[in-house]
């Protein structure tokens, strides 16, 4: 090969590396947790010597590339700080009766929500401190964080004004909570059968939304000043005035329960009843279409997004001819999707994270 050709080849290689949109993916299946650093072209299984229970499902997973976390019920929190090359059990999270709800990063802090409490790490998961005795959903506006924690009698609302270091119980509601979100300083709480609640004073008092009362709001999505509320089996609702009024999204009337993801003006929603939908115009009525290459016979039971990268995880699907469960990946904000080959034959993809 001539010097010129070698130089051109090197330039092409450098360009390929610089423009590489490969994603780091980690998912929890019924038969173990797997991760990939190249968009699912190759997979490795999370493993720790002497831990046979890692063959069970990870209820929650998280990755930002180098750091990977997997919450495995009964086992505990499994961590890797070298992009999955080595794994260990976190000594900061109790393994006994470990039941995980969610792993989330806010303002550079990782929060692990569990049945036994809320845990906080300010060093990328190397150590955790327990900050609440109850776990729950978490959202924020700057350094003000709100946690909605379910109890036997309803929901306790906890607030932190110092980025999660200290907390106080600011209110309690006699309703079950499914979801929590924030938009422009207003906090929203989705309940089991009591509709949507709204707080203007950082969680101290809450008022009901008359238009959504009596509905089960399992998911709330917020983007560009628009608020989406998924009413289980009762349609999808959109507010353009920070929750003062709501209108039903006409072209999503036949959906079951949607969980929303956002990238610019694009809105993608996976349906637990099967299939996924996309709007290229901020989710307004009349702008939604079904994503054609994601089977409507498969429930979307896990999903994740960061920037333009999105991932959807499904179950086996309905009927004898339904396709097997799969992962669908997009790196252009949901416009196009691919389905990598999976390393395991599993009934469901219970959890997924992408970076």
pLDDT (0 to 100) of residue 21: 55
Q: Are 148 and 174 in contact (CB under 8 A)?
A: no
pLDDT (0 to 100) of residue 19: 39
Higher per-residue pLDDT: 6 or 52: 52
pLDDT band of residue 1 (cuts 50, 70, 90) is very low
Is the pLDDT at 224 greater than 50? The verdict is yes
Question: What does the DSSP assignment read for 112-127?
Answer: EEETTEEEEESSTTSS
Topology, domain 25-354: Methylamine Dehydrogenase; Chain H (2.130.10)
Q: Which residues pair with 104 in a beta bridge?
A: 111
Distance separating alpha carbons of residues 351 and 347, to the nearest angstrom: 13
Is the pLDDT at 16 greater than 50? The verdict is no
- Rounded to the nearest angstrom, the gap between the alpha carbon of residue 108 and the centroid of all alpha carbons in its chain is 17
Question: What does the DSSP assignment read for 35-63?
Answer: EESSTTSS-EE---TT-GGGGS-EEEEEE
pLDDT digits (tens, 9 = 90+) for 156-165: 999 999 999 9
Domain parsing of the chain, residue ranges: 25-354
pLDDT digits (tens, 9 = 90+) for 114-170: 988 999 999 999 999 999 999 999 999 999 999 999 988 899 999 999 999 999 999
H or E element in which residue 8 lies = helix 3-18
Is the pLDDT at 17 greater than 70? The verdict is no
Mean pLDDT value across the chain: 90
pTM of the model: 0.90
């Amino acid at each position: 090969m001539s010097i010129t050709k070698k130089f051109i080849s090197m330039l092409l290689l450098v360009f390929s590396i610089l423009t590489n949109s490969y994603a780091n993916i980690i998912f929890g299946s019924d038969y173990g947790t797997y991760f990939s650093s190249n968009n699912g072209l190759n997979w490795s299984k999370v493993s720790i010597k002497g831990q046979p229970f890692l063959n069970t499902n990870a209820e929650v997973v998280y990755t930002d590339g180098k750091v990977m976390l997997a919450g495995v019920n009964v086992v505990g929190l499994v961590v890797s700080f070298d992009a999955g090359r080595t794994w260990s059990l976190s000594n900061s999270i109790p393994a006994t009766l470990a039941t995980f709800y969610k792993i989330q990063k806010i303002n550079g802090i990782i929060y692990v929500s569990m049945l036994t409490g809320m845990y906080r790490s300010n060093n990328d998961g190397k150590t955790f401190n327990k900050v609440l005795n109850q776990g729950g959903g978490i959202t924020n506006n700057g350094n003000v964080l709100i946690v909605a924690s379910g109890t036997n009698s309803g929901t306790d609302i906890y607030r932190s004004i110092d980025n999660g270091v200290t907390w106080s119980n600011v209110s309690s509601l006699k309703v079950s909570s499914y979801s929590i979100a924030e938009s422009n300083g207003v906090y929203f709480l989705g309940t089991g059968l009591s509709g949507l609640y709204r707080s203007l004073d950082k969680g101290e008092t809450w008022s009901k939304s008359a238009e959504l009362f009596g509905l089960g709001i399992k998911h709330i999505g917020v983007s560009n000043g628009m608020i989406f509320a998924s009413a289980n089996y009762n349609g999808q609702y959109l507010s353009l005035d920070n929750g003062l009024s709501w209108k039903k999204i006409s072209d999503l009337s036949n959906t079951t329960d949607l969980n929303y993801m956002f990238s610019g003006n694009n809105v993608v929603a996976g349906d637990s009843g099967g299939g996924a939908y996309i709007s290229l115009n901020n989710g307004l009525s009349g702008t939604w279409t079904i994503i054609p290459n994601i089977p409507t016979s498969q429930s979307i039971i896990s999903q994740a997004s960061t920037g333009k990268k999105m991932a959807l995880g499904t179950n086996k699907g309905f009927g004898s001819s339904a396709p097997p469960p799969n992962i669908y990946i997009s790196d252009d904000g949901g416009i196009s999707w691919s389905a990598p080959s999976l390393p395991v034959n599993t009934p469901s993809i219970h959890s997924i994270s992408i970076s």
